[in-house]
Structure 1
Amino acid sequence: MRRDPVFNIFTIPPVSSSAEYFKKFLIRTNPGMISFSENLKRIKCYPVCYKPDKVYEMPLHSHDFFEVLLVISGRGEHINNRNYTEVIKNRDIIIINNQSAHSLRGLDSEFEVINLTFLPSAIGYSDDSLRNRNLSNLIHFLRPFNEYDARGNFIKIRQPDADFKKILFYAFHIIELFHKGMDKNAEIICNLLSTIINMIFNHYKAQNNINGAGNNIYMMDIYSWLHANFQKKISLGGMARHLQISEPYFSTLFNKITGKNLKTCVNEIRIGKSREMLENTGFPVGRIAYEVGFEDITHFNFVFKKYVGCSPSRYRKQINTAGTIPLNIKTI
């Protein structure tokens, strides 16, 4: 392992191991198409920091996930299947979709990048948006992944140095957490990834003079709102009234955008938070149930067992005994 090349505080794999990890976590489903391996689909995100070879040009390829390319240092070329080659350098961010093929080549020995590849479900949205552009256009965070610039190339964003370093900080943290234990750190990884995508979208929105849409459901970050308000009483009718749209319409859109119904999504968030509290606090189960938004401890116990596979008390006991999540415990 080595220290990250920017902050010198995060522990990440050496450059020489990149090929090994690519083979472990990514698979070729057919010529020119790359997919996540089965074990990676549980995590929904694969982060890597590496140096594209100056001599060997990566073959053109596409993939069934989204990708964010962060250029840390040096200069390289990004090539797409529309016969367009673009020189990229430090602070460039390339937003890559699953619809067009591309490749990468280093122009000097300093060229180093971070690749953040992910499924939409990593940031709380339906993976159907990979195959349905109309659906992904409803999700404002994913809008840049469905657009090209005037020359037909992938969207490129160039941020001020301070903002770019914030994104790099989160990205290196994701890489470190991934290799320290991708299963136990999955929720933190996805939260950090959501933060990065949010920062990129906000810069993209400002760069392209995209105005906000008030309470418009198409531009609302539903998932982030639920994470911030999960302790409150949440209902379809209440959210629909807040957005000034009908309850049936909101229900249909919510299902399309997240791939789940509202009740399931809220319960997953609440149970995830309760697990954190069971692992990290000594609070009684009844208090934890109340803290995460359940009004009845019996109902909390029922929902917890449904999602995790055991009662809250047994979960805490096994965590305290094993010091980690037991293999027979389900993860959300």
Structure 2
Amino acid sequence: MNQKIVREITPLTDSDFFTLFSRKKKEFDFPLHFHEEYELNLILNAKGARRIIGDHVETIDDLELVFVGTNLYHGWFTHECKSEMIQEVTIQFNNEILNAQFLNKNQSSYLKKLFEDSKKGILFPAETISAIKDRILILKDSQGFNSVLNFMQIFHQLSLSPYKTLCNEGFQETSPNANSRRIKQVFDYMNQNFRNDINLNDVSKLVNMHEVSLSRFIKKRTGKNFIDCLNEIRIGQVCRLIIDTTQSISEIAYTCGFNNISYFNRVFKKKKGCTPKEFRENFSGIRLYV
């Protein structure tokens, strides 16, 4: 793969609620890109294609539905796909149509979480796709306010469905469970100081908690221990530098707070399923272009 990461200027205007593109094709030809709009992408019959969302790389199956947050790198590539008829429906919209005032209502709590998680890219399971794909496919035939209602029904259904996020925490510098003041403090501190030697004692003083209590608190809120959370942030930043720079792997590791290369390599392999060198090869030649 030899291409740049491009900033896409979408055709969405201030008077549009959303835009929808439906197309059939034999291959993927759009480069890795990002844009300010949210994007829901349904892809059918493209088994063997490669998906890149942020720092996550994966070969896809025949049913693919991904929700991408704002300014998150994403792209699909033909790779090993042999299909003669790929079907793709892309829905794009900006964050003004579902603003904080709307998402903070009790009835919108599931939608709010969906949009927060989209910062890391969301992949829906095959069962969800099978249940909702027809509704997405016929959305292009909706007119006027009916199209808005159908759009809202799609996202309501998706917000109630199981899904998994794709990127590491650090790639987009997200802070999970931001409704908690303390957990936000913890993640803000780690995002700002991941290059330094951070330990649980330092963070516990920041939030006025005992180390043991803070450790349990983080585990309860995130499902991960303190070191795992810190390593996710560091690995996310490592991935960004691997993609965006030509620095050596060891230099990047030290820059991002890993002082032991053997330990760094083990953590990276565990988190990404490949070595840092293999990860860089997946993104060979890709550079940010704004």
Short-chain TM bin: 0.3 to 0.5
TM-score w.r.t. length of structure 2: 0.46
Larger radius of gyration: 1
Provide TM-score, normalisation by structure 1.
Answer: 0.41
